[in-house]
Structure 1
Amino acid sequence: MLTREKIGTDEAFFLTVAAMIEVGTLMGARDIAEKVGVDTWLVSPLETLFSLAAVYILTHLAMKFPEEDFFGFSRKIVGRWLAWPLSLGLAFYWLALAAHVARITTDVVKNSLLARTPAEVVLASLLLAAAYLAAKGLEPLARACIIITIVTLPLLMLLFVLVLPHLRLDNFLPIMPRGPWPVLQLAFWRISNAEEMSLFLILVPFMQQPNEAWRAAGKGYLLIMAVVITVLTTCQGVLGAETLKRTVIPGLTVTQLAEFAGTFIERISLLFISLWILLAFPTVTALLWAGAYLAGSSMFKLKDYRPLVFFYLPFVFFLARLPKSNLEVKSFFYFLQPLGFAYLWVIPVFLYIIAVIRFPGRLKEKAGKFPGRKR
């Protein structure tokens, strides 16, 4: 078996940010507006609170067993007969999620940048590039995430700052015309949208300071949600809730307003799409790597799990191409929402409760063996 790679807390933080901010965020405002209308801007702040609670339990569950990944500690907690289906389900979830992100990215590229290029070529190119980096291992992936995040994220946020003068406050009124329940219900259900935070179910053993997993995950998630709230609020403030429901890619539509006198790039919205697509690349890469490690190294004990990412590609490609049109993608991949809710909330809570009962005081004992970085 390969010597386990190690990443620092900062690298885990950047990996979290790069993996979670992907092209699907461009369309999040439309999905929320379809359900709660003018209260779209209220959902993400509440979603942040609910999801942070889920991330806290998930990371602290993993921190109870800092030398084990999900398959290892779930086998100790509930036995191998439950650990195997839970781990296989998690690997499938990551691969299906990679297919979903890759399909949305392909559709956005086709619609905005490469209209004459076959979708299969775009999809295959993205998957091959992601698999190449995933096969290099976790450390190169984490370093790539640092570079991609630092280069792209400030530029993306600058584009939304440029359109703030177009924002209208009356697009946020009236507040809660149908009461608070629809907003609270949707915000809680959207815990499933923190999909890539499930990577911490296997990342903790790779960290140089495992007891800092919650710090890396929490700070990363807060930064991510700051970006998401900025994007969604700007989209609603500029377009209005009713227009959001009919807009395919709200983020692209809004950034087109940044094309005013004084800009030196002719189509700045296409620059926005190009930058955002770069953030979809580490998402697909991280998910392919995670699926290969969990199945190859942890469950089946392969000497080198990394080539397994290339064997996954036909399955991911086939799954990504199954929806026949852009309109069918959302309904086809709907199964990811209950799966995400299960692996981010239901299963971690279930395992955590059993772990506390069976291994009382284990967190305190293990944390003492991994002191944090001295300051």
Structure 2
Amino acid sequence: MSAQTLAEKLISKNHMGINIASVTIGVGILTFPRTLAKATGAFDGWISIVISGAVAFLIGWLLAKLAARFPRQSFFEYTSLIASKPVGYVLTILICIYTMLFVSFEVRAIGTIAKQYLFYNTPVEMITLSFLLVVQYAVAGSRVALLRLNLLFMPVVLYVIVVVLVFAQPLVEIENVRPYFSSSWKALLQGSKDVGLSYSGFEIILFYTMLMKRPEEAGKSVFLGLLIPVVLYMTIYVFVIAVFSAEVAKNLTFPTIELAKEVEVPGGFFERVESIFFTIWIMTIFNTSAMWLDITVLNLTSMFKKVGKMVWILILSPIIYFIAMLPQNLIDFFSFGDKLTYFGLIIVYLIPICLLIIAFFRGVKGNG
């Protein structure tokens, strides 16, 4: 492959930042105002968003430093260099389990929420299967093309969210945000932990840094990729509390969708704004699911080079669908998401940071 052809297949710092923002803005954007309102019980939840965002920035920067030490190498390859090949196999397989479970969670979210708000009479099994087939088709194509799809979708997603918030302004009641600074530090830290689960996604920097033109700029990509969700989450939370109040937000399953349902466009041009919002949200879930499945396949093919990409997709898809159908109700579904995120705290945060420390003290680096 010529240098020019390789450069065309690589992505820039800003592009990687958009990818991180896209994969982070997933199911969490619909539910975090509820969990945050329960933890803080007040408008002060925005402080928790800032605190958890700062922690996410720090962890993301450390993960970027690890991946940047081994440019053009996969997670399995540089893990094997740091901690031996057997350990590399074990850690990479654990990563594959985590990312596969994440795909199951995302596609089930589409099925559950689409049935509740759009397809009332369609079985959730068929909605989930249809979405999974589309994700499967996307992953079967070019990896870089899949990542570049975020450049097309993200501006549309942000534009529609901004429009919804603009038209929600007449519904704001100042009394709902009072009193200010009434939450204890304990409540704010609990809120930070809860909303921190909604930042899952920036760990893709561990796997996609090798596709960057300048891997040493991975840390800047993480900063850009997390800045967008932090600002977005703060804005959405402020509007949800200002429109519904903290007491009401605690009892809404999907507060962000409910906010879109309350919006009325002057002149009656759109009667159901939440349908438009939900449509663009499906775009973000599509990108998120496709990237997680692609990362699963990427890691498996890096370990088992003789097995083709399409073979892994066909093997993984039935497993993903079966796992996605296991939760029987919303309680099971949210419990599945919480357990998955705590599993991820160990697999994609704690262990890679330990690998970075080992690599630093041992002086292990990859070939640029």
Task: Give the TM-score, by structure 1 length.
Answer: 0.90
1:372 equivalent in structure 2? none
Q: What letter matches 2:316 in structure 1?
A: Y
Go from structure 1 to structure 2 and tell me whether the alpha carbon gap of 1:193 and 1:269 turns closer, same or farther (over 3 Å shift).
Answer: closer
Go from structure 1 to structure 2 and tell me whether the alpha carbon gap of 1:8 and 1:306 turns closer, same or farther (over 3 Å shift).
Answer: farther
Q: List aligned pairs for 1:305-344, cutoff 5 A.
A: 305-344=309-348
TM-superposed CA distance for 1:312, in Å, is 1.0
1:346 equivalent in structure 2? 350
TM-superposed CA distance for 1:260, in Å, is 4.8
Distance 1:169 1:341 in 2: 37
Distance 1:318 1:34 in 2: 32
CA-to-aligned-CA distance 1:163-189 (integer Å, 9 cap, x gap): 123223333333454521231244256
Distance 2:123 2:129 in 1: 10
Q: List aligned pairs for 1:218-257, cutoff 5 A.
A: 218-257=223-262
3-state SS of the aligned residue for 1:262? helix
Q: How many residues align?
A: 361
Long gaps (5+) in structure 2: none
1:193 pairs with one of 194, 198, 205: 198
3-state SS of the aligned residue for 2:250? helix
Distance 1:344 1:54 in 2: 10
2:293 equivalent in structure 1? 288
TM-superposed CA distance for 1:287, in Å, is 0.5
2:129 equivalent in structure 1? 124
Q: What letter matches 1:135 in structure 2?
A: A
Task: Give the TM-score, by structure 2 length.
Answer: 0.91
3-state SS of the aligned residue for 2:271? coil
Q: Indicate yes or no: 2:84 matched with 1:74.
A: no
Percent identity of equivalent pairs: 24
2:361 equivalent in structure 1? 357
Distance 1:67 1:231 in 2: 38
Q: Indicate yes or no: 2:144 matched with 1:144.
A: no
Distance 2:138 2:34 in 1: 32
Distance 2:12 2:354 in 1: 29
Q: CA RMSD in A?
A: 2.1
Distance 1:25 1:195 in 2: 11
Distance 2:271 2:280 in 1: 16
Long gaps (5+) in structure 1: 370-375
Distance 2:246 2:197 in 1: 23
Distance 2:32 2:211 in 1: 32
Q: List aligned pairs for 1:1-375, cutoff 5 A.
A: 6-38=10-42, 39-175=44-180, 177=182, 179-188=184-193, 190-295=195-300, 297-302=301-306, 304-359=308-363, 362=365
Distance 2:73 2:172 in 1: 48
Distance 1:263 1:231 in 2: 24
CA-to-aligned-CA distance 1:352-375 (integer Å, 9 cap, x gap): 111110017x59xx7xx5xxxxxx
Q: What letter matches 1:151 in structure 2?
A: V
Distance 1:189 1:357 in 2: 34
